[in-house]
Structure 1
Amino acid sequence: MTMIDSALAASPSPVPSEIFSLLALLAISIVVLLILRYYLPLRTTPAFLLVPVFFALWLPASMVLLVPIDLASSAMVDDDAATARGIWLEPRALRVSWRITYWLTFSLTWFILPILAEYSDSGYREPKDKLMDSLRANAQYYAIVFGSGALGLVYVLISYGHFSESLKSTVMALAYCWGLVLAIYLMGHGLVAIPRRLLRNANISGRLRRIQSQAPRVYEQMEDAEMNLEDLEMQVSELSRRKVGSAKDYQDWIEELVDMTNLPESQPPRTTSLIRGSGDNDARALPTVITEKYMADLTRRLVRAKHARSRYTNEWNLLLRDAVKTQAILDSAASKKLDLGAPSPHAGFWHKLHIFTPYTRFLFHYHIAPYLRIALGTLLAAASVCIVWSEIVKGLLPNLSVIRYSVVHHWVGANGQVGFAGQVIAALWMVYMCAAALTSITEVKVWRGRALVRRNTAPESAFWYASQVARLSVPLSYNFMTFLGGIYRDTAFYAFLGSLINMTPLGKWFDYLFPAVILLPVLAALFGLYSKIGRVLGFGADVIDDDDLGESASAYGTGTWREGRDLIERELNGTSAAIRGRRAEAAARIAGGNRSSTTPILSIPRRAGGGGPSTPLAASPNTRPQANTSARRAAANTSSSTEPEDENFFEALGHRFKNTIDTIDTPKWMQDIGQGIKKPKWMAGGGDDTGSGSGSGSRLQRPTGPGRGNSDVRRWFGGSEGRIRL
Structure 2
Amino acid sequence: MSVASSVPVGSSVFFSLALFAICILVLLLLRRFLTLRATPAYLSVPVFLALALPASVVLLVPIDLASSSRDDDTGPKAIWLPDRVVLVSWRIAYWLIFVLTWAILPLLGEYIDSGYREPKGRLLYSIRSNARYQLIVLCCATVGLVYVSIQNGFDFTSIKGLVMALAYVWGLVLAIYLMGHGLVSIPRTLFRNANVSGRLRRIQAHAPRVHDRLMDAVNDLEVLESQVAQLQSRKTGTARDFQEWIEELPEGSSPSEPRAAFHEAADRSATVPAVITERYLANLTRRLQRARHQKARFMDEWDRLVVSAADVQAIINSSASAKLEFAEFPRRSSILSGVTILTPYLRYHLYVHVIPNFRLLLGALCSAASVCIIWSELFKSLLPRLSVVSLMVTHNRQDPKPVGFWGQVTASAWLLYMCSAALVGVSDAKVWGNRALVRRNTYGESACWYAGLVARLTVPIAYNFLTLLPENTRRHTTFYLFLGRLIDLTPLGKGFDYFFPVFILLPVCATLFNFYGRVKNICGLGLAEEETEDLENNPSGYGVGGWREGRELIDRELSGIGSLALSTRGGRSHWQPNRSEGLSRAFSSASASSRAAPADGSRSSRTARGPMSAAINEEDEDEENFFQAFAHRVKNTWDTTSTPQWLQGEPFRLPRWMTGNENGSSNGNGVTTGLLSGRPNNGNVRL
TM-score bracket for this pair, using the shorter chain length: 0.7 to 0.9
Report the Cα offset of residue 92 of structure 1.
Answer: 0.9
User: Could you tell me whether the CA contact under 8 Å between 1:567 and 1:626 is conserved in 2?
Assistant: no
2:53 corresponds to 1:59: yes
Counterpart mapping for 1:152-167 below 5 A: 152-167=144-159
Number of residue pairs the alignment of both structures matches: 596
Report the Cα offset of residue 551 of structure 1.
Answer: 2.5
**2:432 maps to amino acid:** W
Aligned match of 2:80: 88
Q: After superposition, give the CA deviation of every residue in 1:55-75 in whole Å (9 maximum; x if it has no partner).
A: 100000001110000011111
User: Could you tell me whether the CA contact under 8 Å between 1:216 and 1:627 is conserved in 2?
Assistant: no
2:400 corresponds to 1:415: yes
Report the Cα offset of residue 418 of structure 1.
Answer: 0.9
Report the Cα offset of residue 362 of structure 1.
Answer: 0.3
Distance 1:621 1:669, change over 3 A: closer
Q: After superposition, give the CA deviation of every residue in 1:363-405 in whole Å (9 maximum; x if it has no partner).
A: 0101111110000001001100111111111122211100001
Q: After superposition, give the CA deviation of every residue in 1:219-250 in whole Å (9 maximum; x if it has no partner).
A: 00110010000000001011111111111111
**1:88 maps to amino acid:** W
Q: After superposition, give the CA deviation of every residue in 1:154-212 in whole Å (9 maximum; x if it has no partner).
A: 22223323423121111110000000000000000011011100001111111110010
Aligned match of 2:108: 116
CA-based RMSD: 3.1
Aligned match of 1:22: 16
2:207 corresponds to 1:221: no
| Distance in 2 (alpha carbons) for counterparts of 1:262 and 1:581 | 9
| Distance in 1 (alpha carbons) for counterparts of 2:92 and 2:321 | 59
SS at match of 1:287: coil
User: Could you tell me whether the CA contact under 8 Å between 1:12 and 1:82 is conserved in 2?
Assistant: no
Equivalent of 1:624 in 601, 605, 612: 601
| Distance in 1 (alpha carbons) for counterparts of 2:429 and 2:536 | 19
Counterpart mapping for 1:48-197 below 5 A: 48-77=42-71, 80=72, 82-197=74-189
Structure 2: which 5+ runs fail to align? 571-595, 612-630, 640-645, 649-687
Aligned match of 1:476: 461
Aligned match of 1:43: 37
Equivalent of 1:534 in 512, 520, 529: 520
Equivalent of 1:447 in 409, 432, 436: 432
Equivalent of 2:361 in 361, 375, 383: 375
| Distance in 1 (alpha carbons) for counterparts of 2:569 and 2:387 | 64
| Distance in 1 (alpha carbons) for counterparts of 2:482 and 2:568 | 67
Q: After superposition, give the CA deviation of every residue in 1:80-109 in whole Å (9 maximum; x if it has no partner).
A: 174322111111111111011100000000
| Distance in 2 (alpha carbons) for counterparts of 1:358 and 1:670 | 44
| Distance in 2 (alpha carbons) for counterparts of 1:302 and 1:49 | 20
Aligned match of 2:25: 31
| Distance in 1 (alpha carbons) for counterparts of 2:569 and 2:316 | 36
| Distance in 2 (alpha carbons) for counterparts of 1:406 and 1:583 | 53
Aligned match of 1:711: none
| Distance in 1 (alpha carbons) for counterparts of 2:121 and 2:258 | 33
| Distance in 2 (alpha carbons) for counterparts of 1:462 and 1:353 | 31
| Distance in 2 (alpha carbons) for counterparts of 1:70 and 1:299 | 49
Flag the structure with larger Rg. 2
Aligned match of 1:462: 447
User: Could you tell me whether the CA contact under 8 Å between 1:64 and 1:430 is conserved in 2?
Assistant: yes
User: Could you tell me whether the CA contact under 8 Å between 1:12 and 1:81 is conserved in 2?
Assistant: no
Aligned match of 1:559: 545
TM-score, scaled to structure 1? 0.77
**2:354 maps to amino acid:** I
Counterpart mapping for 1:378-527 below 5 A: 378-409=364-395, 414-486=399-471, 487-527=473-513
Distance 1:674 1:320, change over 3 A: closer
Report the Cα offset of residue 22 of structure 1.
Answer: 0.7
Report the Cα offset of residue 409 of structure 1.
Answer: 3.3
Q: After superposition, give the CA deviation of every residue in 1:660-691 in whole Å (9 maximum; x if it has no partner).
A: xxxxxxx779989999xxxxxxxxxxxxxx99
Report the Cα offset of residue 511 of structure 1.
Answer: 1.3
Q: Which moved more, 1:142-151 or 1:297-306?
A: 142-151
Report the Cα offset of residue 349 of structure 1.
Answer: 7.5
Report the Cα offset of residue 445 of structure 1.
Answer: 2.5
Aligned match of 1:244: 236
Distance 1:460 1:409, change over 3 A: same
| Distance in 2 (alpha carbons) for counterparts of 1:201 and 1:466 | 28
Distance 1:425 1:274, change over 3 A: same
Distance 1:331 1:403, change over 3 A: same
**1:470 maps to amino acid:** A
Report the Cα offset of residue 258 of structure 1.
Answer: 2.5
User: Could you tell me whether the CA contact under 8 Å between 2:165 and 2:490 is conserved in 1?
Assistant: no
Distance 1:324 1:691, change over 3 A: same
Report the Cα offset of residue 632 of structure 1.
Answer: 5.4
2:203 corresponds to 1:211: yes
